[in-house]
Structures are given as structure tokens and as C-alpha cells.
Chain A
Amino acid sequence: DIQMTQSPSSLSASVGDRVTITCRASQYINNYLAWYQQKAGRVPKVLIFGASTLQSGVPSRFSGSGSGTDFTLTISSLQPEDVATYYCQTYKNAPLTFGGGTKVEIK
């Protein structure tokens, strides 16, 4: 099974800061990677699929990069409404594993 390792598990940053979250797959997954945002008490929402394609309606301050085993989610200028937990997920094959999550807070 493919394991997905996210880091950090949590971070605190100031409004306007650039925030980077990383996700590493234990095996090659090409670009079969999605990023989800889950706000407290809410349903997960897809931000990025195909490692770097922004879902329609998602603010352009979010971006994704990487291929193979190493991936990054970047928030170019953190906003208060970005407080959430972010998960990566591979959908290359079963099991469709999620990373452990990164909780983003405002300093």
C-alpha cells in the first residue's frame, strides 16, 4: 500500500505569510494527487487535483506542485479564512490513502 506522509502536522503563520505544506508518497504516484481543505465541523473540499490543477472557484493564492513522490501545497498569502486542516490524497490505486493532515492556524 502507498503511504502518504504530510509535514508539518501543524503550523501557525501570520496573515499575508507564504505557507508551504509537503506531502511525500512512499511509492511513485506520478501526478495522481489531490489536496483537500477541511474547515472545523465542515466537509472536506477539493482544492487541487492532478497535483497542480486548481479546482474551479478556489482562490488563486492556492497552488500545488510536484510529481512522482514529492508534492507541495502553497498558500501564497495566508488569509484568515484559510484556517483549516489540509489533507493530501493519492488516487493512483487502492487504497486511496490520505496524508495525516496539516492544521493551519493564524499567529
Chain B
Amino acid sequence: QVQLVQSGAEVKKPGASVKISCRASGYTFTGYHIHWVRQARGQGLEWMGWLAPNSGGTNYAQKFRGRVAMTRDKSFATAYLELGSLTSDDTAIYFCARAKGSGAYNWFDPWGQGTLVTVSS
């Protein structure tokens, strides 16, 4: 079945960077965009951007430009989210999600299980 499996929880200090992985299985990795969404505790869903696994193309939400990078390793069918200059406001669960159809602008299904990133001194 189509599945996205994310890396484990991270604890980082303010100012550091974090890199989260999202391994895809059950479908052709290069055929579908991967989106990243985060959710702070008790808060709503916040879209961060998308990655086109075939070309490596990206589109980041304005809020994160300059400190975010979405990359992939096609040989491992894995997408990565790297977020730098972390502050306590970045403490959240980070989800990867696959665009349902071809192209970036589709609903998300399935989602990864989420990765908790805690930023604390």
C-alpha cells in the first residue's frame, strides 16, 4: 500500500537546524509531489511547501523562505525537510503528505505519521 514513513523525534537548540526524512513506498516516488505541513501543539495545520521528486523543483511558503530546504534522494525514494535558524516557535509536529494526483495542486493522501521537533535550550 502507499505509505510515507518519517524519521523520529528531534530535540534541537535555538539557532540550530533540523533535517527530517520521509520515505515513500508502494508507488512511483517520482510521480507525485510531496508536501510538508506542520502543526504546533493544540494549533491548526500550516502548509510549508512542496517538492517535485522528479525534477527537485520546490515551492516554499513565503513565511519559511530563506531558512527551509526540501530535497530528495530518488534512489532511496526519500524526501527531506531541512529547517534552519530554529526558535521555540518551530516546536511542532511536521508531516509529509503526498499529493493525490499528478501535479502539486491536489489534496493530500496519504500523510506520514508525523515527526515531533522540539526546540529548547
- A residues near B (Cβ < 8 Å) are 1, 32, 34, 36, 38, 43-46, 49, 55, 87, 89, 91-101
New A-B pairs, 6, CB < 8 Å, besides A45-B111, A94-B49, A101-B44: A44-B111, A46-B107, A91-B105, A96-B47, A96-B50, A98-B37
Interface of A is mostly: loop
A92 to B61, CA, bound (A): 15
Task: Say yes or no: A100 contacts B50, CB within 8 Å.
Answer: no
Of A38, A45, A92, A97, which contacts B47 at CB under 8 A?
Answer: A97
Task: Count A/B pairs, Cβ under 8 Å.
Answer: 59
How near does chain B come to A32, taking the closest CB pair, in angstroms? 7
> In the complex where A43-B114, A49-B100, A100-B44 touch, is A94 in contact with B59 (Cβ < 8 A)?
yes
Interface size bracket, B side: 20 to 34
Of B37, B50, B106, which contacts A94 at CB under 8 A?
Answer: B50
> In the complex where A43-B95, A43-B113, A49-B100 touch, is A87 in contact with B45 (Cβ < 8 A)?
yes
Some 29 contacts from A to B, beta carbons below 8 A apart, are A1-B62, A32-B105, A34-B107, A43-B111, A44-B111, A45-B111, A46-B100, A49-B100, A49-B107, A55-B109, A87-B44, A87-B45, A89-B108, A91-B105, A91-B106, A91-B107, A94-B59, A94-B61, A94-B105, A95-B61, A95-B62, A96-B47, A96-B105, A97-B47, A98-B45, A98-B46, A99-B44, A100-B44, A101-B45
A34 to B37, CA, bound (A): 15
A43 to B96, CA, bound (A): 10
A43 to B39, CA, bound (A): 11
How near does chain A come to B22, taking the closest CB pair, in angstroms? 13
Of A44, A93, A100, which contacts B105 at CB under 8 A?
Answer: A93
Residues on B with C-beta less than 8 A from A32 are: 105
Task: Say yes or no: A44 contacts B45, CB within 8 Å.
Answer: yes
B92 within 8 A of A: no
B104 within 8 A of A: yes
> In the complex where A34-B107, A89-B107 touch, is A98 in contact with B113 (Cβ < 8 A)?
no
A36 to B44, CA, bound (A): 12
